[in-house]
Amino acid sequence: MTKSAADTKAFVEQTVRSNAEQNTFVAVILVDDQVAGLVGYNQINWTNQNAEIGYWLGAPFVRKGVMTKATRVLVDYGFNHFGLNRIELRAAKENLASRGVAEKLNFAYEGTKRQCEWVNDRFVDHVIYGMLKSEWKMNE
């Protein structure tokens, strides 16, 4: 989660570097021709046909269904165009809005990775969700 302009700049710069290495895919989310956020795949593993979803959404667009819609499109694209078999979504345990995206899209809860990220001067747990291509087809 970005908290400042410097955090956002660092996030975008890292995203551009990863894109150049072809292990990520990032899309800009536009709402009424305004940049609302980013959604994409982090750490695409082409050999094992899996990837992790990551996203960022500006505060004015939170809790309006924007990220759920964008993530739905990204998941569908990953399974049907990239040939992925498994997609993972991780969210900070306290980030209920982010967890809600996974739950609304019927991702399966797979567990909690304890104290795996340093955020705001403390370690936070991540909740892990997963979706298989065969499960996504049943959701369509």
CA-CA-CA-CA torsion sign (92, 36, 77, 63): positive
Q: Residue 59 and residue 86: Cα distance in Å, rounded?
A: 29
The b-or-e profile of 113-128 (16+ CB within 10 A means b, else e) is eeeeeeeeeeebebbb
Evaluate whether the domain defined by 5-139 bears CATH number 3.40.50.300: no
**What are the domain boundaries of the chain?**
5-139
Supply the pTM of this predicted model: 0.82
Task: Say what the pLDDT of residue 18 is.
Answer: 59
Chunked into runs of 10 residues, the chain (140 residues) has average pLDDT values of 65 62 85 94 94 94 95 96 97 95 97 95 97 88
Task: Say what the pLDDT of residue 69 is.
Answer: 96
